[in-house]
């Protein structure tokens, strides 16, 4: 059974750096074709794709947030870490990680973690 779970601070201040960890089980990020993606959802709004890291170490970022995001993986711990610098109240929302296998679909998703950015 594949599961993912996000963890990180629930509250950060504006201008601070956010660090989120996605801990997963049931698959390995060293397996060909496996990928982990981060997505966020502001309250009451649509989903937004943020970043992706692949089994071979390739990294991809949202063009609008590229300068603020860094994604990395620790295959020994089955973790993917996302950092976002210079946080702003508009970054408030629920942050999800999800697995992307050989196809383009996201399945499954973690439960999400709510991050509130205070000014």
- When asked if residue 104 is in the footprint of another protein (CB under 8 A), the reply is yes
Q: What is the C-alpha separation between 3 and 79, in angstroms, rounded?
A: 12
92 to 3, 13, 65, 115: CA distances (angstroms):
24, 11, 14, 6
- When asked if residue 43 is in the footprint of another protein (CB under 8 A), the reply is no
Return the range that interacts with another protein (CB under 8 A); candidates 14-22, 72-80, 83-91, 106-114.
106-114
- When asked if residue 60 is in the footprint of another protein (CB under 8 A), the reply is yes
Member of 22, 110, 115, 117 binding another protein (CB under 8 A): 110
Q: What is the C-alpha separation between 37 and 22, in angstroms, rounded?
A: 10
Q: What is the C-alpha separation between 62 and 56, in angstroms, rounded?
A: 19
- When asked if residue 26 is in the footprint of another protein (CB under 8 A), the reply is no
Q: State the residues that interact with another protein by CB under 8 A.
A: 39, 46-49, 52, 60, 63, 96, 103-112
């Amino acid at each position: 059974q594949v599961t993912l779970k996000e963890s990180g601070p629930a509250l950060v201040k504006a201008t601070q750096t956010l660090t989120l960890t996605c801990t997963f089980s049931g698959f390995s990020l060293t397996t060909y074709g496996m990928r982990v993606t981060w997505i966020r959802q502001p309250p009451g709004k649509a989903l937004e794709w943020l970043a992706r890291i692949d089994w071979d170490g390739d990294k991809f970022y949202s063009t609008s947030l590229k300068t603020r995001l860094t994604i990395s993986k620790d295959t020994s711990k089955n973790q993917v870490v996302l950092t976002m610098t210079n946080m702003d109240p508009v970054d408030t929302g629920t942050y999800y990680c999800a697995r992307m296998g050989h196809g383009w679909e996201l399945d499954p998703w973690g439960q999400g973690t709510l991050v509130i950015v205070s000014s």
